[in-house]
Amino acid sequence: MSDLWAIGDVHGALGTLRTLLQRARLTDFEDNWLGDGATVVFLGDLIDRGPDGAGVLHLVQHLERQAAEAGGQVVSLLGNHEVMLMAAMRFRGPPRWAAGYLSPGLFEYWRQNGGQPHDLARLEPEDLEWLQARPVLYRHADWLFCHADSQLYLSLGDSIEAVQNSVQALLNAKNSDIWIDFLNAFSEREGFRGRQGLSRAATMLQVFGGHKIVHGHTPVFVLQNVPSGPYVSPYLYADERVLALDSAMAYQKGAGFLVRLDADVGRLTRPEATGVLDTIFLSDILAGVGTLEP
């Protein structure tokens, strides 16, 4: 099996992302793909909150092209912030939006949730097309990747393809109420916690395939009830069937990790193992390395 890497919510933290990718030797210092046949999965929420969401989006698109040429693969999932951004673009329509002509304020909703108007100014129609085409679920070997620890996915279909089709239909809806309902369901958290969460995770794996779910969306430090910071690591829970990877890299100086998942899945089942082989922490790399997002 070829190398498999995953990274949680980047949220505009372009400098951190570049450092992590370079350190993993997935890119060179000019952001060119070095990963050969590797697969890198981005778990969604590339944009908003941090300083350079548009830059992150364009870097991921660039790597997607270069990886494909080299026989590798970059997979970038749909996150709720991608949906929020699309809603903001679609239902903006100033000055009419302000008068409630098109929407009850999806632009404002996006902005209040970390939307950065300077990112919008740098996005092209092709970017919107790219966002609209994001995969919602992705399965690779034993891993099932999704953005959110939400019940959403099971309500959208009983196969990866059916979920994709449902989401495509939602993203084509002209009625902003449909977008709002979708966003509310997508923003739910902690759906894999507790007894109910355990059975929900088991059902998801049964329906969509795979042995473990990998998600972003809810920062690890929130799920673990620990202080945020650079020493937070991937979190395996729900009977070790769910792996959380949102490192909160845009929130905290020195936070951020990139994880390699192919090396030894068995190791994840050992209770004493903290995470996965070859986790690259920003805190390990930082001495003297560039600038970090505030």
Pairing of strands 212-215, 143-146: parallel
Q: Which residue lies nearer to Mn ion by CB, 20 or 183?
A: 183
Q: In the beta sheet, which residues pair with residue 41?
A: 6, 75
Work out how close the CB of 285 gets to Mn ion at its nearest, in angstroms, rounded to a whole number: 25
Task: Give the footprint of Mn ion on residues 181-220 (CB under 5 A).
Answer: 217
Cβ pair 270, 32 in contact under 8 A: no
Work out how close the CB of 47 gets to Mn ion at its nearest, in angstroms, rounded to a whole number: 11
Q: Which residue lies nearer to Mn ion by CB, 80 or 164?
A: 80
Residue entry with tokens 């990112």: 119
Q: Which residue of this chain has its Cβ atom nearest to Mn ion in the complex?
A: 217
Give the range of 44-52, 60-68, 168-176, 280-288 binding Mn ion by CB under 5 A: 44-52
Work out how close the CB of 103 gets to Mn ion at its nearest, in angstroms, rounded to a whole number: 21
Q: Which residue lies nearer to Mn ion by CB, 6 or 67?
A: 6
Work out how close the CB of 259 gets to Mn ion at its nearest, in angstroms, rounded to a whole number: 18
Give the range of 33-41, 62-70, 74-82, 99-107 binding Mn ion by CB under 5 A: 74-82
Q: Which residue lies nearer to Mn ion by CB, 27 or 80?
A: 80
Q: Which residue lies nearer to Mn ion by CB, 45 or 262?
A: 45
Q: Is 80 in the site for Mn ion (CB under 5 A)?
A: yes
**Per-residue binding letters, 110-139, with Mn ion (x by CB under 5 A):** ------------------------------
Q: Both tokens of residue 46?
A: 């590339």
Question: Of the candidates 247, 274, 84, 76, which has an alpha carbon nearest to the alpha carbon of residue 180?
Answer: 84
Q: Which residue lies nearer to Mn ion by CB, 165 or 187?
A: 187
* DSSP structure class, residue 30: T
d(CA 107, CA 284): 38
d(CA 164, CA 137): 8
Q: Is 48 in the site for Mn ion (CB under 5 A)?
A: no
Pairing of strands 280-281, 242-244: unpaired
Pairing of strands 242-244, 235-237: antiparallel
Helix (H) or strand (E) holding 69: helix 53-69
Q: Is 45 in the site for Mn ion (CB under 5 A)?
A: yes
Which residues, other chains included, contact 218 with Cβ-Cβ below 8 Å and sequence gap of 6+? 148, 149, 189, 190, 244, 246
Q: Which residue lies nearer to Mn ion by CB, 47 or 123?
A: 47
d(CA 246, CA 44): 10
Give the range of 24-32, 39-47, 58-66, 201-209 binding Mn ion by CB under 5 A: 39-47
Interface ranges with Mn ion (CB under 5 A): 45, 79-80, 217
